[in-house]
Amino acid sequence: MLRPMLACCKLYVSEGRSAAALRAVEQAARRHHPAVVLVNTFVDDAYNRVGYTLVSRLTLDAASPTPASPLRRAVFGVVGAALEAIDLGAHAGAHPRLGAVDHVCFHPLAGASLRDVAALAADVGADIGDKLQVPTFLYGAAHREGRTLAAIRRQLGYFTSPRDAQWRGPLLAGGTDTTPLPVAPDAGPDTPSASKGVLVLGATAWVDNYNVPVRTADVDAVRRIARRVSERGGGLRSVQAMGLAHGDGGAEVACNLLDPQSVGAGQVQDMVERLAREQGLDAGEGYFTDFSEEKIVHMYLEKLSAQAEVSSYGFDAPHSTENHR
């Protein structure tokens, strides 16, 4: 049997503590199409943030310029449910964010191309901006000039660190119900609401998220380590890193590995440990916030197979919501 081309969407919401809000979001993720599978839910209480990973088929039609995927409707539904359930104005957490739904990214899987996923992402971005009235910024292959995620975040003030290492309330830089944003969005209104903020949405090749704990309450020291680890600070190529408070009296170096086949978690781990020792600190064992690309494909196909088998007996199959790699 030939494996289908797949599209993956990672979606991050600025809430990790309200059971009612998270229940509404997860119900929306399961509501729209049996071929859309929620393969991972990663809850981080310290960050007050949850990451969801959704996967579905991607179908190409010569008569249409845009690939068809039930993921388009599913992601729109999840974003709508999250915006209704989460109030950014009441949010507080140790991770920076720009919106109640902070970040949405599409990745190609199982033979799909980045170009196909980019077209899907652009359509979803237009749906969200225009129909849900949230300023939506595109990046990566979904943006006509290939703007990077870090670039648009930097323009919007995402990396401006508060003194107590806790982000509270609405947008970090600019943007209220009456103040225009410093950069015009690609879709949606020019002024965000304080309760919803803005949304950043893109399409890229696969990205691994890998975080390394450092046993210290000195967040500034961990930020210095993160700066030296990141490519921007002269460190590892294709690695983006932030130093963030995480848990009671702890911190971590949170990394995006943009080319994990070339520069992976092992190299990040080694460098963080070495830099931590230089400052008299102890780094713990790092962890991924999602499954590997290969395992996600396997889980999706396994889930569809189980659904087909169970449906033949007239029952509904349960959904997978694992939260470890």
Residues serving a catalytic function are: 95
Task: Indicate the SS3 state at residue 78.
Answer: helix
Angle, CA 211 vertex, CA 80 and CA 286 arms, to 5°: 135
Evaluate whether 12 touches 103 at the Cβ level (below 8 Å): yes
Q: Cα Rg for the chain, rounded, in angstroms? A: 19
Question: What is the CB neighbour count within 10 angstroms for residue 247?
Answer: 14
Residues 6+ apart with CB under 8 A from 95: 44, 47, 48, 49, 167, 244, 254
Evaluate whether 177 touches 226 at the Cβ level (below 8 Å): no
Question: What is the CB neighbour count within 10 angstroms for residue 104?
Answer: 27
